[in-house]
Amino acid sequence: MTTPQHILKHTFGYDHFRGQQETIIQTLINGQDALVLMPTGGGKSLCYQIPALLRAGTGIVISPLIALMQDQVDALTQLGIRASFLNSSLSREQVYATERALFSGGIDLLYIAPERLTQERTLQLLKQIPISLFAIDEAHCVSQWGHDFRADYLQLSLLHEHFPQIPRVALTATADSRTRNEIIQRLQLQSAQQFTSSFDRPNIQYRITPKTSPRKQLLHFLRTEHPSDSGIVYCLSRSKVDDTAAWLSSEGFTALPYHAGQTQEMRALHQKRFLVEENIIIVATIAFGMGINKPDVRFVAHLDLPKSLEAYYQETGRAGRDGKPATAWLAYGLQDVIKLRQMLEGSQGSEQHKRVERHKLDAMLGLCEITSCRRHALLHYFGETPADLDGTTASSDQTPTSIGKAPLIAAHAQGCGNCDNCLNPVRTFDATIPTQKLLSCIYRTGQRFGSQHLVDVLRGESTEKISQFRHEQLSTYGIGKELDKTQWLSILRQLTARGYLNVDMEGFGALQLTERCRPVLRSEERILLREEIPQPKASSRHKQTGNSLAKRVAEANIAEADLPLWEALRGCRRKLAEQQKVPPYVIFHDSTLLNMLEQRPRTLTEMRELSGVGVTKLERYGDAFLEVLREY
């Protein structure tokens, strides 16, 4: 019998396991259940793929998305692993062929959707074949409090009932304590060993900026930092996705829309182009991204506020899976808060569900307005303190889920060094008097108006609405001329995020005072707020250049003399990928090509020693890459 280490090297081409991978694999080989929480790009798939190959029978992987199954099966097939899937994209003949292969022992790993798994016909099929394990991927989908809830996942407790002797592993990249407990309860994993890796993604730079002119801000971000990179732009609505994709295309980018309102064929085409081609931007709702395996996504941008920190972490985690620098950029404003709260209050959920969702939104707002390290605040939410990261003691005594309830999370002594607040420490100012003026204005206008009108009153503007309600006669009219509109909106946004103001969902987003305002109005509490820094203007339209290539070369420390070989290796990979109809990274990751560039193998034996080169890939592609290396 072979060993996990042998399969890791022989099949996958790697010398060493990462983190807890080896322990998780051994747990499943021994027939025990496991719950695995590991960040995106942390190597979750190996945790069930290797034991499925070592144990007798077929490994059954429950996966929520057809595109995700196809991507995984393509990658495994390239490694010489016999993988297949059962989902609605197959014809009846293809389904029968897959079932015959199962009966004959010709499939190592079978990917299947939860709704198909729960069908009686499928259960009877599985009871007739030897099964090595069950892997429940994206296990947070089982949680009704999660951001990707799938009702079909609720029935997966049947695995324990119908197949009590077969080990099960549930895997997810994002789950707070409530979601983890629900996964355990609903999947009956009370006896499972739990493995929680660090949620930290140190290569991702987190940046959150006030939304002033979002399109100009996004354009500046893309043109100055990612002019030719692959990335994802998330929007809240389908119409905004379509409009944003069309606008980015008019600005010279290759931008494709993706949302649930499109046909399945169009979504599949756009996702395939994103995976296979380079320099593609996908503009999407949250319908896009779960399980996306593209390693070189250099940025994830949000034009609207995510509903929760779980959603934010999951979506930003799609950047930089290759471990190289990536950016998570978010622009948000008060209107985002109002829109999300209106959507929440108008939902059909129970009052308990709404209360939990309000708390999640408050936590998301807390991350946006925090003046200390964003990374440590984000990790703190998932129960991981800075002490877990660097051996020092965290200075915050808050519980992981209380970010949004407190004005600030205490700054960690060292910070992460790779978020906007650490790279450019936030300047604060004493906003007590402006806050008192604002709160008085809200009170004297009857707590019935939104942010724009309140700012107009404070600045003494002459508008039709002010005349209509005779607000020029109020004592607060014109008392805030010392601040401009952007500064007043910033104060409004920060006070809302900190719980001093509520948004009335019964009307049209009117701002109302909360009990927290009393000590402020009595001058018993001092208010320190973030000082807004003017946003840079976007450059005028120009043709996109190859700046991204230059940046990749610099990050990889490629010498100028090696550029021709580097491009030739990438060209060879691209050609092979087109022939195989798979994404280039399925052939070899960039890290493997860099290894070739550095080591210059001359024989198949020498190439076999490179990281990421397994036996099957060596046989299929070794000669092609050796030919390129010989030419240079």
Residue range 65-76: average pLDDT? 86
pLDDT of residue 390: 41
pLDDT of residue 178: 81
pLDDT of residue 96: 93
CB 454 within 8 A of CB 442: yes
- CATH fold of the domain at 429-530: Arc Repressor Mutant, subunit A (1.10.10)
* Structure-token pair, residue 569: 């290796």
Q: How confident is the model at residue 411 (pLDDT cuts 50, 70, 90)?
A: very low
Which of 355, 389, 346, 403 is CA-nearest to residue 176?
A: 403
List all residues 6 or more positions away from 517 whose beta carbon is below 8 Å from its beta carbon. Answer: 439, 500, 501
Residue range 156-175: average pLDDT? 92
Q: How confident is the model at residue 548 (pLDDT cuts 50, 70, 90)?
A: low
- Distance of alpha carbon 315 from alpha carbon 553, whole angstroms: 26
Least confident of 300-314, 425-439, 520-534: 520-534
CB 457 within 8 A of CB 474: yes
Length of the chain measured in residues: 632
Residue 135 has pLDDT above 90, yes or no: yes
pLDDT of residue 554: 57
Task: Kindly report, as residue ranges, where domains of CATH 1.10.10.10 are found in the chain.
Answer: 429-530
Antiparallel, parallel or unpaired: β 528-530 and 428-430: antiparallel
Q: How confident is the model at residue 386 (pLDDT cuts 50, 70, 90)?
A: low
Residue 445 has pLDDT above 90, yes or no: yes
**pLDDT tens profile 309-358:** 988 998 999 999 888 999 999 999 888 888 888 888 877 778 887 888 88
* Structure-token pair, residue 46: 């190996």
% of residues, the chain, pLDDT over 90: 63
Dihedral (CA of 444, 445, 451, 454) sign: negative
For residue 436, the surrounding DSSP H or E stretch is helix 432-444
Q: How confident is the model at residue 145 (pLDDT cuts 50, 70, 90)?
A: low
pLDDT of residue 306: 93
pLDDT of residue 173: 85
- Distance of alpha carbon 238 from alpha carbon 261, whole angstroms: 7
Using alpha carbons only, how large is the chain's radius of gyration in Å? 27
pLDDT of residue 606: 95
pLDDT of residue 481: 95
Which of 95, 67, 74 is CA-nearest to residue 264?
A: 67
Task: Kindly report, as residue ranges, where domains of CATH 3.40.50.300 are found in the chain.
Answer: 4-196, 204-424
Q: State the architecture of 204-424 in CATH terms.
A: 3-Layer(aba) Sandwich (3.40)
The mean pLDDT of the chain is: 87
- Domain 556-631: state its class: mainly alpha
Which of 619, 632, 611 is CA-nearest to residue 568?
A: 632
Torsion on CA atoms 50, 53, 57, 58, rounded to nearest 10: 70
Task: Kindly report, as residue ranges, where domains of CATH 1.10.150.80 are found in the chain.
Answer: 556-631
Q: How confident is the model at residue 632 (pLDDT cuts 50, 70, 90)?
A: confident
Which of 460, 365, 380 is CA-nearest to residue 412?
A: 380
Query: Which DSSP symbol is given to 16?
Result: S
What does pTM read for this prediction?
0.81
For the domain 4-196, what is the CATH code?
3.40.50.300
